[in-house]
Structure 1
């Protein structure tokens, strides 16, 4: 029966840690990252396992011989082979009877009735430099659950690059407790051995370790009974004083908490990037809205200017004709024209009025066409520039969360796909002329829609605006001319000057009001509808932002709780140290 190693006061802490890791697992699942979820799931399983030694190093460094000598069973537990024949990790644990269980093709558990295994488990890993596929990958997957990592080097050459690169991974990613063992020291003289021991110490310090522990051993000498020379004595003393002498349960729990904190920090860093990306996207989206709002205000102002210019031209022409009419309708002028019409070829009053009406029509057409063309060109150019600006903003939107992110690559990729769809949709939108027509505003002007075969998309907006505004304005002025014509037609039968002038002024004022109201109202409505159509391209992106806001809040709340719980259990563990 295996004795209970956990002190009674630590049991509640272990139970609490189990609950925290369960919450951490839920958090990992929320990230959508399967690898992280598996890592935390494995951590939950290993909470109740013994203190774990993970033996790492290059092939041929003597790892298996080291393990066999450390266990001192008098037999070969970890297989020693001249070549890396397998990519199997061997986890050696205490058991009342010797049992070998294959967990999966890459993990084998060996249970042995060896006393030291009551408090520690030993993991013999493939070499860091082996060419066999998956060796380093499966070793890295075991590192997060280790309590002590033993780096085994060949005493003759402890400077091989692959081992130190693996150390960088262990030290940077998981900050595990590490000791260094120079194996096969019997192959070096004392002077060279001391040089290499010091070299390993200096290399470890250079990489950020404080007071690194470095041991020189010979598994061969230990197994031959030369225990004084083998160097295993100081190593066993270190293990006894720091681990097996009652410290293992507490150290194991501290390491588990450190692993949980590490995972939590990694998730926190990813969440921070997600939040930064969401905020950048919100700012981008708000910038688009502000651009559209600013363009709408600018375009409305341009419509006001266009209408003002139209009215100025309209007023100048109609006032001039009003003055001519007023002068021509004087008693003597009419009498003169009437007599001239009878006794000469000069214009009669009727002919004069018809000529005046024709001049009014021609002058209005020339003046208003010019003003419309100038105003519509400015308005169309402004809208086209706005569309180009929005297209550029979409293309240059800031990407903070990359699609190769360790945890949130799927989320980043989904965002990237939606942004690409947005870019394509907007490009198609501005290239499609139909998006800039608005039949609902001008249902009776379809015949005025020009043939746009020579150019399409947003480039056609000036032609469209010119067609609808020309048609609208000249319908209004056409009504004016019809009304004036009817007034003038009665002059030959009635010379009521005041009534004629009042009728002319009324027709002019009514038409002026229609130009001011209808041109302004319909153009502004057209611009507002166009703004909505442009904004509609962002609907999927908006849905993404809305969903991401909810997801972020949920994952941030869970993460904050896990962090608080880990801080609390760390404080309680500090009291036990």
Structure 2
């Protein structure tokens, strides 16, 4: 270790400790129990020695390898034919030999062995053992490790469970790994070399450049066959790459790398949440835009319907006005008065009554035809609004899956709310009262149950027909009553202009009222229904609001940790760089 690094080591460790503390708070905030424990373990081991973690399958010879490597002449780690316990054994330096049971799954063994002043060795249960919790407790030690020593049984280093665990160590944690083929004394040299090459080849395929593979025999080492045992290259590797003052800076860098790895995982998970949030926000905006567009389309159809009604209304009333004007001119009026005295032909009174009845019949026929045609198209448009929303809900994009490493709970909550939204909307479109109650209408009067005999969306056409026809015939009925009163009051030709003026006035007033009330009734219904459809998304909107706030906070925290780790990494690299050679 360079003097500069030695001088700054404690300060660097303190920085790592502070960053990992914030990382621990971030892990708690994302509510990941497993990751929170991992970060807690990492923080608790920042000040421990460089840590070898010995992994491999049961009966691969891990414990024998450790006993031979330490070379104390004693059985430091118990060698047993079958796994007996879930305990991990952490072997550390101590002035006197001692064993301390930390918890049911961790035992510390203290030994006065020189090499343990710089390194600690962790003996783990087998990766393929049937003893409960072995895999879990082994995996819990991996993130805080500084070097993984992967021990294989020399005669069979191809077991699937072992390489699956290798993938976990290498892919998930990017840990430095060396490979040991143990019990080499049990097979011919030629076969041993084949297996050694096989391990190297597989490791290279998995992305390990220049894999380090040792072949050893703990039995030969412990029996004094030092040249044959293969342990000399292992000790040489440790001396060249780890001990001799290098272990502290290596461990410091490993802690930084592991913290960065964990933070990257969180950052990647948050980024995926962000994508889901953006997709959900886009989905929600699409729902709003669809509702607005469909509402605008339906409102335009109302304008067309009303325009057609008014055109028919004006055509009928204009024709009757002309007929009235012609009939009330001097000579026709005089002729009708004289003739009525000497014959049974219609009198003026009867003629006006007939004219009023014809006006009523023609208006009813014309307006009913216009309404029936327009209501069908309008009902289809409104139904399409609801159907499109239903389809969009069912086809909303799911990016964050409920099996996500960190955010499965968030994904499940979102999926539950979306599923609830689908079910709620299905119920909404199937219930008649959602399209018929009084709050949808400007006059606050609900549609008669007898008119709303259909269910759900199917009732809309009936609703529109009832609303429009009721409004139309209320208005035209009032007009015709007034026209009848005008006609009834006509007695002399001197009132001809007054009658025509009153008739025109009532017809114009009626047309304006017809246009306003039918338009208001239909447009209010459409707008209120659009709002009611949108109200189905209240819970989803609340989820989006909270998710947006949470993602923003998590992103800020993770980004801050990333920046601090990068700064620290650069400082450590700068301090540990060898001085430039002087020019000769």
Which TM-score band applies after superposition, normalised by the shorter structure?
over 0.9
Match of 2:102 in 1: 103
Q: Secondary structure at the match of 1:181?
A: strand
Quick check: 1:528 aligned with 2:527? yes
Q: How does 1:147-162 map to 2 (within 5 A)?
A: 147-162=146-161
Quick check: 1:504 aligned with 2:485? no
Match of 2:543 in 1: 544
* Larger mean Cα displacement after TM superposition, 233-242 or 324-333: 324-333
Q: Deviations over 1:75-129 (max 9, x none)?
A: 1111111112222211111122222222222222222222211111111111122
CA distance in 1, matches of 2:444, 2:169: 76
Match of 1:196 in 2: 195
Q: Secondary structure at the match of 1:7?
A: helix
How far 1:412 moved relative to its partner?
1.1
Q: How does 1:326-475 map to 2 (within 5 A)?
A: 326-440=325-439, 441-443=441-443, 446=446, 449-452=448-451, 454-475=453-474
Query: Does the 8 Å CA contact 1:442/1:468 hold for their aligned counterparts?
Result: no
Unpaired runs of 5+ residues, structure 2, are: 578-584
CA distance in 2, matches of 1:245, 1:419: 60
Match of 1:7 in 2: 6
How far 1:346 moved relative to its partner?
1.4
How far 1:249 moved relative to its partner?
0.3
Q: Deviations over 1:407-453 (max 9, x none)?
A: 1111111111111221122122212222222525354855x625156
CA distance in 2, matches of 1:546, 1:420: 18
Query: Does the 8 Å CA contact 1:449/1:468 hold for their aligned counterparts?
Result: no
CA 1:107 to 1:410, structure 2 compared with 1: closer, same or farther past 3 Å? same
| Superposed CA RMSD | 1.5
Q: Secondary structure at the match of 2:242?
A: helix
Match of 1:555 in 2: 554
Match of 2:582 in 1: none
CA 1:417 to 1:479, structure 2 compared with 1: closer, same or farther past 3 Å? same
CA distance in 2, matches of 1:463, 1:352: 38
CA distance in 1, matches of 2:451, 2:43: 68
Q: Deviations over 1:492-545 (max 9, x none)?
A: 356521111111100000000001112112321221111111111111111111
CA distance in 2, matches of 1:144, 1:92: 18
* Larger mean Cα displacement after TM superposition, 452-461 or 116-125: 452-461
Match of 1:483 in 2: 482
CA 1:444 to 1:496, structure 2 compared with 1: closer, same or farther past 3 Å? farther
CA 1:467 to 1:572, structure 2 compared with 1: closer, same or farther past 3 Å? same
CA distance in 2, matches of 1:291, 1:340: 67
CA distance in 1, matches of 2:444, 2:189: 104
CA distance in 1, matches of 2:451, 2:361: 28
How far 1:354 moved relative to its partner?
0.6
CA distance in 2, matches of 1:342, 1:89: 127
Match of 1:3 in 2: none
Q: Deviations over 1:467-502 (max 9, x none)?
A: 111111111111110110011001235652111111
How far 1:332 moved relative to its partner?
2.1
Q: Secondary structure at the match of 2:156?
A: coil
Query: Does the 8 Å CA contact 2:89/2:106 hold for their aligned counterparts?
Result: yes
* Larger mean Cα displacement after TM superposition, 489-498 or 361-370: 489-498
CA distance in 2, matches of 1:144, 1:77: 24
CA distance in 2, matches of 1:373, 1:366: 11
Q: Secondary structure at the match of 1:354?
A: helix
Query: Does the 8 Å CA contact 2:52/2:148 hold for their aligned counterparts?
Result: yes
CA 1:452 to 1:319, structure 2 compared with 1: closer, same or farther past 3 Å? closer
How far 1:161 moved relative to its partner?
1.7
Match of 2:24 in 1: 25
How far 1:208 moved relative to its partner?
1.1
CA 1:172 to 1:465, structure 2 compared with 1: closer, same or farther past 3 Å? same
Q: Secondary structure at the match of 1:311?
A: helix
CA distance in 1, matches of 2:119, 2:339: 130
CA distance in 2, matches of 1:452, 1:233: 96
CA distance in 2, matches of 1:71, 1:404: 43
Quick check: 1:135 aligned with 2:134? yes
Q: Deviations over 1:325-349 (max 9, x none)?
A: 1111122222222233332221111
Query: Does the 8 Å CA contact 1:152/1:180 hold for their aligned counterparts?
Result: yes
Match of 1:66 in 2: 65
Q: Deviations over 1:20-40 (max 9, x none)?
A: 111111211221111111111
Match of 1:37 in 2: 36
How far 1:454 moved relative to its partner?
4.0
* Larger mean Cα displacement after TM superposition, 395-404 or 417-426: 417-426
CA distance in 1, matches of 2:386, 2:295: 12
Q: How does 1:169-180 map to 2 (within 5 A)?
A: 169-180=168-179
Q: How does 1:306-345 map to 2 (within 5 A)?
A: 306-345=305-344
CA distance in 1, matches of 2:268, 2:337: 96
CA distance in 2, matches of 1:287, 1:302: 22
Query: Does the 8 Å CA contact 1:450/1:464 hold for their aligned counterparts?
Result: no
Match of 2:204 in 1: 205
Query: Does the 8 Å CA contact 1:445/1:471 hold for their aligned counterparts?
Result: no
How far 1:570 moved relative to its partner?
1.0
CA distance in 2, matches of 1:89, 1:236: 23
CA distance in 2, matches of 1:107, 1:373: 83
Match of 2:563 in 1: 564
Q: Deviations over 1:14-56 (max 9, x none)?
A: 1111111111112112211111111111111111111111111
* Larger mean Cα displacement after TM superposition, 467-476 or 6-15: 6-15
Q: Secondary structure at the match of 1:537?
A: helix
Match of 2:231 in 1: 232
TM-score, normalised by the number of residues in structure 2:
0.95
Match of 2:580 in 1: none
Match of 1:112 in 2: 111
TM-score, normalised by the number of residues in structure 1:
0.96
CA distance in 1, matches of 2:102, 2:570: 36
Match of 1:261 in 2: 260
* Larger mean Cα displacement after TM superposition, 145-154 or 431-440: 431-440
